Structure 1
Amino acid sequence: MGRGDIVRALLAAGADPGVHNTAGNTPLHLSPSPAITAIFTEELLRATAQSDVGRVCQLVASGLSINAHDNPLSRNTPLHWAASFAQPDTLTCLIARGADVNAGNTDGATPLHDAVARGDEAIVRILLEHDANPHIQCYKGRYKGKTALEMASDKPDLHNLIEQHVNINNKPHNSNGIGIGNGSVSPLLQRQQPLNREIGLSRGLSGSFESLTSVGTDSVITNGPELMIHNAITTPPVPLPTTTTTTTTTSKQTNGEVIVDDCGKILPATTTTTTTTTTPQPRSPLHSSSSLELSPRMEQVCERLASAQLTSPPRPLVTHSALHQLWPQPRRIIELQGPSWSPPTHTTLAIVSGPIPIHKIVDVWDIHKRWLEEAGCEVKLGTVVSASHPPSHTHTFTCIVNPALTTHPHQYTLTVRDNKVVLVCASLESLHSSLVTLVQLVRVCVCGVPAVVISDHPSLAHRGLLMDVSPHARVPTLERLYQMVDSLLSLKMNQLHLMLRVSPNTCSLPYLPSEIVSLDRYCEDRGINLVPAFDIEGTLTTTQLNEVTSTITATLTHFTSARQVHIGPRLTAVLADASTTTTTTPTTTTTTTPIINPWCSLGLSPSTVLLVCANVFHNKSHQLASLPPSVVLVEYGFQADYDFSMGVQLGVESGRPVAVCPGTAAWSSLSGWPEAGVSNVYRGVVGGVEGGTMGVVVAHWSSTAALTPLVFAWPPILVAAGLSWNHNTHWDYVHSSVGSLVDTHLMRVPGCGLGAALVELGRCETWITRVARGQSTLDVGDLPSSTPGSALYQLLADPDALSLDHLTVEVFTSVMRHVRRAVREGGHNTTTTTPPPGIGGSVSVGVSGAASSSPWPLANLVTLELHLAMDMILTACRLGRSLVSVGSNPRSNLGLSVVNPGVGNLPPTLRTDLANKVLGLCEVYSSVWHQGQEGSGLQSSLVVLSSLLARLLPHHSLQPNSS
């Protein structure tokens, strides 16, 4: 009820703040408002100062952040208070629960500064043993310019203790004096040594998708004992978006070879990963908190400057919270003085003449015109002015496209000031990007766009999506494909690869040649390069190779503006082998002649760049010599922990450019594998940038039984788009914000919950698959599983073959409950009802109401796909629960606790009930399919469900209606 006085009185009287109600909520979960949180924080600081360890544990168990601040002016954490007042066991308790030993207050003082000022050797020793950095300097206040080591100079015992610790640990420093070892402000910001092959190219958490494996008490997913953090290469993060600041009246004086599966996907080789462990903080089901605030923290930046022994003030930080909702996150945002700008309903545009034809610039503005109008701003061309004359003050927008005014070929600078907007762009492509940012600004800054300068350019020049449009699989309709192109543009991606399957005489072109030409033009107008990609089904003999290359040459005539051609893994392997062999040509006299280099028989123009699978050449590097000069090596890898370094190293050794191809992991399941998709994309993009790659192509593979709706590919695509522009975006922000980014930048209805529901469904499916395998909830092995797929997929495709050893009725019931709640109550804000356990805030109208209010053309379809996935999961869980119930062994001590009895051995009433549900599911499945996919693949996709019907009712002729 928000009665802070009563809350304060109850806490003072000893009420347990960590008590749970029947729904699994703690008091703080029910009302996580700033005022209530401040009262809890005040109680935590009091308990810390009084060394009441039990009370500290209770407050942390209530969901209160272990790194909460006392007030905005001092920003001391509980560990600061403990270092100043508490007993050693209190420090140990806080650190064991994740307290940041190097957190800085507003003066830059760390807990070690306070401990040295206090003069307690035991306290100092505990902090040093937990990697407190004695070289961090205060940048203002009482101890300005001093490190903890310098402060101890007049205390011989403490000084010797710190010096001894420094000598034992031998923390390295670079030539500039910057601490490499523990000079960052928190463990999440700790950075390691430069790139080497042994530890690969990945960075951050490779598979420990915390927000996907650690949720509330009523969730099906629970914390494991350890959080696996893979050793990785990292670079300092950019400032992160904002959250509410907690205020309290309490204060403290501051002291200063290639394996390919049937779908054409590369199967990973076994890799060895070095891991360390730490204990994670509790996470909520849909929105993950972080040990880093989702706001730019002044003390973080200043502390990094202090550890680098810099005395100049830090660059001004972004304080306007809406600016942190931009995606991709711009590299540089500078807030200016001045009033905010609200775009008028009718505005005019002045274009400054330059090397780019004016009509091309106008064409780009026309493409973005409807998105600006959605935001309430209609733009018309006002005038064209010379570069030597300033535009009139009557024009709201001024646009300049001239590469001579930028330092990067894809850079743009957007300035909003004095009710004017100026865009300076290097190219038409960067003009597209700047207009995307402008539209986002108008959308997210509902109270007016602040005076600001945004300067940005991508980390990777080539940023694409590969769509597998194989026949008899999930091929989007042409209308949906056009809408996907617009969505890629809104995420600043610039390539769309269509993967076509080729046989000796045909190519699986899913659309008419005239439609391909129109699609190519549509993409080109939006700065997106349509790239034809080719691969083969099954095997191919050398004698058939010429026929295949001829088919490819003929197909390329429909892609009129293709500047790149992508060759898939199977075809790359065949072409590579054929280029290094000889064959016997039947003539009157039999002679052996070398085969013509097959790469040259593809019929490519001299300016066309060829993309080939790098994995083929891992153990056959000698075959690289036969490749044409204009070739890019593409390293494929789709597992959560895949190491892309082999392909990068191959490019370094051969002197060829490299791109990475992670996957969406939205296959072989009912709702995708978001943990695998996001982790794989993060490793590929971030590691690829640091390894010198030139691009990323996120692959969305299909298959004959394509049960995974296309909507589940969007979270990894969105992450790839953001990271390929700004690879310094920190993992902690990426993995906790996927759902909200989907809502804000695809649905364009912030907080609607569709993105969170996408993540939740995939998270449940990943969790139950691990349970079925007997894996740890943090084990990223075989994720995603290409064969035989997820446990829920197996329950629909081949239920009799699924091992039930580790599954229980309670497991399936928990998944069903959690999935229903995730879809029904996916979003939350502060205006409606009580949320489910473990989620702060209140629940909004949810996913069902989001489609009607969303301007995204795909909103209705993706919402239907989400509900379809929920229905498939519920059906699979009902079947699994029935099998477990019938197969339970009452004498489990003598053998297996559960034996899979087979669908045919279920009671007739159960089989009939399940058959009716599957039959209804088939009807819904067919209806949703026809709204988004070409009809040709429906029958092969329905085989899974129709086969399940035949198992349930073997003597009946129930068939789904697929018309």
Structure 2
Amino acid sequence: MGEKEEAAPVLLQCLESGRVDVICSILSQMKNQADFHAQVDKLCCKEGTLLHKAVWLDAADSVAALLSGGVNPCVQNSEGKTAYQCCQSEGVRLSFVREALQSINLHKTERLCQLIRAGVPVDSVDTPDTKNTLLNWAADFATPEVVKALLTNGANVDLANFKEETPLHTAVIKANAEVVKILLSAGANPSLKTKKGQDAFALAETHSPALLSLLSMDQIARDVRHHRSVDDMDDRMSLISCTETLNTQILNDSIKYEKYIEGEIDSWTDLLWPQPKLISIKHQSPRNFEFPKDGKLKVYFDDCSSANPRQVMQIIELSKPLLVSVGVDIEYRGHRLADHETSALEGKVTCGVFEDGRPSGSYTLTIDAIRGVEVVGSDYAGIRHAFATFVQIVRLHKYALHKNVGHSNGVSTSVPSSPNGNASGDHSLLNGNSASKHLPDICADGTIKELTIRDQPDRAFRAVYQDFSGCRILNPDTILKLATRLSSCKANYLFVNFEVRTTDRYQLPYTNRELFHMMQVCQELFITFVPSIDTQSNYLEGDQARTIIDQFLDDFPLCKVVHFGPNLASFLISDRKLLTSIQRRVPRIYLSTHVDEKNGPLLSTLPPFVTLCVEGTWPFEVEKYVSPRVSVVIKFSTGDDGYLCASPESVAKKALLAAKLSDRQTVLGSMVCDLSTGCEAMPPSLSYMSLLASVGVAFNGSTDMKKYAFLLPVIAAHHMLLDGDMVSLFEQVQTLGKVEHQLTKYAYGYWKPNSSSSPNADISSGSETTLFGMSANKKMPISVFVEMILNPENMNMERLTPVVFKKARIELKRTTSALDATSKLLPYSYDLALVLEEIRLVTELMVLVSKLGQYMCVYGSQPIDRKKSFEEGLPYSPGRVGVINLPPAIRTDLANTMLRVRGQFQHVWLSRSIPSTLQNALKMFDNLFRALLPHDLQEMGKQLL
């Protein structure tokens, strides 16, 4: 076929003439073309697509050829039917089933789910004689991910074949422990027997005795579940199970992670962040390091070191406020004395810089009962990192001592566990009264066991990107506080991005004095301040672009690094003369751009002073199009596009992907981006866990995020809020993300909650997109909460019911109760109170939207003309509703609540952002308020806003 020749007419002729061989040949040639699906999946005849035509012809072989060639079975014809829904004979239906079986054999999870969405029954059998279901085949031949996908789509876990063998029997015979565990967690009954009278236990004794313990534990769990819960009905109606944490099914691959689900840790050192490469603790040492009785650490400078004592003092002063807040002060004594190592002086701290060949930022930290504390860095950055780690150790021990003192006095200072059963794991172990219980291996008397830490960064680039292109522009004080916290967690780049509108006069939101102060503080924190700029459009003239860039560089005369966003980057990539002229002023240039086969050759010739910033996706195809001579930085967002809150699963998945992609030779490191556009303009505290996860794996790529994903709330509490008792705040942030994502998955048919009245209710089978499976990124729909805020007049509520929204409200009210309990124990701290109010604000907004959704399901009914589905492959149904049909009293009540939430938002916003951005930020709330307000109250509403 010629390159310009349309494939559809030729394939239609082949279908009508029965030339299956030609169909296979054409599809094989076209498969790698970029417009493959556009050609073979379009509506090309009165029946619909090519696949519809083959079904109408009742040509089973042609159907099989098209499916094998990769056509999309989810496309609907003009009647809204997929090809499978048009099948008239069993032979043609069998072609679809065989394609599903082939997908199982080849472990093509996405293709299998696509066929199921097209209408292929999830419990289809291979032949009427053998009666092996898709799940039976998956248990025999496929991976655990395929099994999870079938269960997620509603496969009957106990449906037996002709031999009365269930999928569990098959998995036991194959000795596949992972699949057995998945099936058991989905409710598979191990007591069912085959035709030979053997149950799962008998089969395990014969084929795989190692599985007997797993089957026995499941039986015990079943017995426990049959006991009635003492919780009330609301507790049993939760949208997310109280036993679900993060996405429990992701841990079915190894039982070693199960204890972390409940918040348990192996040692107090698990709370150091980023995790050091080597920690050696002398557990059998007769003496421990004791804090001096006068509360002052005596700092000495190693006289053999080439370090400037004044500069080392400046580094230590950065950590001093964190030590003073826990009752430890610092006193500088000068160079060490001759008898320094044997002196009985308490609280000795010796510092020195020695270049030993390790990368910049490397350090060794030794804590000895006699010699005191020894801090050795490969450079000044190493000293900074060493002291940051030492401060974390001191604060954890002081926190444990405080807990023990409170416990011995009979006083509890811990935050109560979350009323929703600790949705992010039972951190009562971390909040409890016993130090030995919540911080294992830590000394109860406040002393520190002798230890040595050797550490060095895996990546020299560990960046945080603050985006001020939208309505959120943080004030300088907030930026510097964030930079200080992240510097303690060893981030070393801070990108601050501005957007210039070509129709407006060039002006940055900060004064030159504020910009200079931010750069100066970042330099002291060993963070490289990187100014970033972009335009709102790539339609600009060359002279206009040069003028904007020159004005921007004039505002940062001392900067040695600069970043340009996608629109300006596309201009600079094509104009090498301008790019070179910029390099004369700024030695290092970062360009954010999209990489594909079209611009790959041009990007491959970029000069060495340019580093590309690309989105971190899987599969990572940058190396496929760009020469390895070009350095690359991978970018990840802190949130999920189109959502108010990030889900715990996506936070962990992005951190895992960052660690995996950072192993590439061309990748210098990773950048985590806190965006400020649209619904992503949420309070910055919601992104703290994402920031920590990304920075942590950038410093130590071997960090096991399957473990630390569950510990992020307590890590964020200790290192971002500096208060280990505030774990509950971040647990509730995780709960908000779960509720939003679970309800959205349910709305679009990706997830279906179990009946709350069942004693076996459990959603551990979760979603089809696994957290740790590195599958291709799947475009998810916009959040139901966000869509309802932005477009309450025309919502697709086809799959949603009042009960679903009620369950969401129940979960959110539990979060509100947990926040109320935390507020009663909140110390006098403006920063902590602000974070609490930010989380409470988002919670109340989601409660309001859930209440609105519940009412819309009950009252709303607005028939409209048929429109396309939000995404190809999902069937359309005209189940749309709007607020206009709600009773006036309900609308007024909701509008009053919206007005109260709006007032809270104003307070929180002005505490973090510059005042001039408030009006744009309020538009989202004002639009919803106007939509909720009845028509006769609109004039009054204008006066209230």
TM-score by length of 2: 0.63
Structure 2 vs 1, CA of residues 896 and 96 (structure 1 numbering), >3 Å: closer, same or farther? Answer: closer
* 1:375 is aligned to 2:375: no
- Residue of structure 2 aligned with 1:922, choices 895, 902, 905: 902
1:240 is aligned to none
2:849 is aligned to 876
Q: Is the 8 A contact 1:884 1:900 kept in 2?
A: no
Fraction of identical pairs, as percent: 20
2:750 is aligned to 775
Map of 1:595-744 to 2, 5 A cutoff? 597-602=577-582, 604-605=584-585, 608-616=587-595, 618-637=597-616, 642-643=617-618, 645-648=620-623, 650=625, 653-665=627-639, 668-690=642-664, 693-704=667-678, 707-744=681-718
Distance 1:93 1:514 in 2: 64
Distance 2:525 2:927 in 1: 44
Structure 2 vs 1, CA of residues 823 and 355 (structure 1 numbering), >3 Å: closer, same or farther? Answer: farther
Cα drift, residue 92 of structure 1: 8.0
1:799 is aligned to 792
1:150 is aligned to none
**As a proportion of its length, which structure holds more helix?**
2
* 1:126 is aligned to 2:145: no
Distance 1:648 1:228 in 2: 34
Q: Which amino acid aligns with 1:568?
A: G
Map of 1:273-672 to 2, 5 A cutoff? 288-289=261-262, 294-295=265-266, 321-336=267-282, 337-344=285-292, 345-353=295-303, 354-385=305-336, 394=345, 396-405=347-356, 407-419=358-370, 420-445=372-397, 446=400, 447-470=446-469, 473-504=471-502, 506-507=505-506, 509-541=508-540, 544-576=541-573, 578-579=574-575, 597-602=577-582, 604-605=584-585, 608-616=587-595, 618-637=597-616, 642-643=617-618, 645-648=620-623, 650=625, 653-665=627-639, 668-672=642-646
Distance 2:487 2:943 in 1: 37
Distance 1:962 1:864 in 2: 23
Cα drift, residue 743 of structure 1: 1.8
Distance 1:797 1:785 in 2: 23
Map of 1:53-452 to 2, 5 A cutoff? 98=181, 123=205, 125-127=207-209, 218-222=237-241, 288-289=261-262, 294-295=265-266, 321-336=267-282, 337-344=285-292, 345-353=295-303, 354-385=305-336, 394=345, 396-405=347-356, 407-419=358-370, 420-445=372-397, 446=400, 447-452=446-451
Q: Is the 8 A contact 2:299 2:351 kept in 1?
A: no
Q: Is the 8 A contact 1:328 1:722 kept in 2?
A: yes
Cα drift, residue 389 of structure 1: 8.7
Q: Which amino acid aligns with 1:545?
A: G
Q: Which amino acid aligns with 1:456?
A: D
Q: Is the 8 A contact 2:175 2:211 kept in 1?
A: no
Q: Is the 8 A contact 1:553 1:604 kept in 2?
A: no
Distance 2:748 2:682 in 1: 21
Structure 2 vs 1, CA of residues 131 and 331 (structure 1 numbering), >3 Å: closer, same or farther? Answer: farther
Q: Which amino acid aligns with 1:768?
A: L
Distance 1:122 1:636 in 2: 47
1:858 is paired with a residue whose SS is helix
Structure 2 vs 1, CA of residues 413 and 633 (structure 1 numbering), >3 Å: closer, same or farther? Answer: same
Q: Which amino acid aligns with 1:335?
A: I
Structure 2 vs 1, CA of residues 283 and 339 (structure 1 numbering), >3 Å: closer, same or farther? Answer: closer
Distance 2:542 2:377 in 1: 45
1:404 is paired with a residue whose SS is coil
Structure 2 vs 1, CA of residues 485 and 97 (structure 1 numbering), >3 Å: closer, same or farther? Answer: same
Q: Which amino acid aligns with 1:774?
A: G
Structure 2 vs 1, CA of residues 466 and 851 (structure 1 numbering), >3 Å: closer, same or farther? Answer: farther
Distance 1:699 1:368 in 2: 26
1:662 is paired with a residue whose SS is strand
Structure 2 vs 1, CA of residues 287 and 427 (structure 1 numbering), >3 Å: closer, same or farther? Answer: same
Cα drift, residue 741 of structure 1: 1.6
Q: Which moved more, 1:803-812 or 1:941-950?
A: 941-950
Cα drift, residue 678 of structure 1: 3.2
Q: Is the 8 A contact 2:173 2:207 kept in 1?
A: no
Q: Is the 8 A contact 1:406 1:412 kept in 2?
A: no
1:654 is paired with a residue whose SS is coil
Structure 2 vs 1, CA of residues 717 and 624 (structure 1 numbering), >3 Å: closer, same or farther? Answer: same
* 1:941 is aligned to 2:921: yes
Q: Is the 8 A contact 1:464 1:698 kept in 2?
A: yes
Aligned residues: 652
Structure 2 vs 1, CA of residues 709 and 957 (structure 1 numbering), >3 Å: closer, same or farther? Answer: farther
Q: Structure 1: any 5+ residue segments left out of the alignment?
A: 1-87, 102-119, 133-214, 231-276, 296-320, 580-595, 827-844
2:439 is aligned to none
Distance 1:686 1:388 in 2: 49
Pairwise CA RMSD: 4.1
Cα drift, residue 905 of structure 1: 1.3
Q: Which amino acid aligns with 1:923?
A: G
Cα drift, residue 453 of structure 1: 0.3
Q: Is the 8 A contact 1:865 1:928 kept in 2?
A: yes
1:812 is aligned to 805
Q: Is the 8 A contact 1:338 1:417 kept in 2?
A: no
Distance 1:770 1:731 in 2: 24
1:766 is aligned to 741
Distance 1:332 1:448 in 2: 21
Cα drift, residue 384 of structure 1: 2.2
1:763 is paired with a residue whose SS is helix
Q: Is the 8 A contact 1:633 1:647 kept in 2?
A: no
Distance 2:204 2:327 in 1: 63
Structure 2 vs 1, CA of residues 958 and 333 (structure 1 numbering), >3 Å: closer, same or farther? Answer: farther
Q: Is the 8 A contact 2:472 2:676 kept in 1?
A: yes
Structure 2 vs 1, CA of residues 513 and 458 (structure 1 numbering), >3 Å: closer, same or farther? Answer: same
Structure 2 vs 1, CA of residues 621 and 90 (structure 1 numbering), >3 Å: closer, same or farther? Answer: closer
Distance 1:414 1:288 in 2: 31
Structure 2 vs 1, CA of residues 331 and 427 (structure 1 numbering), >3 Å: closer, same or farther? Answer: same
2:827 is aligned to 852
Cα drift, residue 475 of structure 1: 1.0
1:271 is aligned to none
Structure 2 vs 1, CA of residues 928 and 508 (structure 1 numbering), >3 Å: closer, same or farther? Answer: same
1:957 is paired with a residue whose SS is helix
1:169 is aligned to none
Distance 2:857 2:849 in 1: 12
